[in-house]
Structure 1
């Protein structure tokens, strides 16, 4: 069982990093299931809209909700997030080389969200790569224990780890170490 995670220092940087990695892996034929987050700035100056793209098919789900200008509550639309979780669970059953989760956030820290999907992937011996929110780092480690391997928040480090766990160090190799030629 391999479980890697990364925490990028700036707001939204983990989302961009994981989306880039997902795109590169998909182009190489790696079967990825999970989610990447897409943040869209709003013209009204309020916090960005948050969407997740469910991998591999690309369905986009808005996971944020507009609570109004004076609100201070959590903007996460839990029902929408659970839809992304269900779609990811269904894709995982079909088979995967990697589970990629955009963020182990507050929802997961509270025992919901992608926790079950992560556990299922690990039980199936499917490697997991997750982004982790700094605020929920301790909860993530409590959930994963010593299994979790922290990875530097840069493309090169993530690619090196992924090549190792997927057996794809040679660009002509397919996941699992099977040559395409």
Structure 2
């Protein structure tokens, strides 16, 4: 990777309420893998899309059949999201294994509250960036400032569209540098 492509090495699909960034990320990752790129990491799905905050949140290993429950079951009637840090810690093995393998792109399901507070998958994202491995993630707009502060010159905000992600990916692979794609 040349020095021009280091800028924007970590792309984040910035989304708001009502946008399923998880589906966009997974679709892009699977398309690139089908094209022959070595795409490894984690994608997120909800066990029930009709309960956006109270349903189980599950991370899936792009390279296999492993899955990890990363939400706490708060009980019937609960309407708040509650990530389970122990589930995230368990799932981090997928990212660490990916970073030991030859890969073209590391997919990290989300830069969320845990990462914004210095935990979650932040260590794995840091290792990937330091190693020059492109990282694709998503970030809710409420954490976008923390993500931008963390990634600095290595981060690029991406609109939640397949076209915008594809443009970022082409950029990372060697075209000219830029900061925001829409």
TM normalised by structure 2 equals 0.82
Where 2:23 maps in the other structure, the secondary structure is: helix
Moved over 6 A (4+): 42-46
- Please name the residue that 1:17 is paired with: 24
1:138-177 to structure 2, matched below 5 A, reads 138-166=145-173
Is the contact between residue 54 and residue 78 of structure 2 (CA under 8 Å) also seen in structure 1?
A: no
Is the contact between residue 7 and residue 132 of structure 1 (CA under 8 Å) also seen in structure 2?
A: yes
Does residue 94 of the first structure (1) align with residue 94 of the second (2)?
no
Larger Rg: 1
Is the contact between residue 46 and residue 69 of structure 1 (CA under 8 Å) also seen in structure 2?
A: no
- Please name the residue that 1:64 is paired with: 71
Q: 1:81 aligned to 48, 63, 88, which one?
A: 88
Q: Tell me the distance in 1 between the aligned counterparts of 2:124 and 2:53.
A: 32
Higher relative contact order at CA 8 Å, sep ≥6: structure 1 or structure 2? 2
Q: 1:84 to 1:46 in 2, by over 3 A?
A: closer
Is the contact between residue 42 and residue 49 of structure 1 (CA under 8 Å) also seen in structure 2?
A: no
Q: 2:45 aligned to 32, 38, 43, which one?
A: 38
Q: 1:47 to 1:32 in 2, by over 3 A?
A: same
RMSD: 2.4
Is the contact between residue 71 and residue 82 of structure 2 (CA under 8 Å) also seen in structure 1?
A: yes
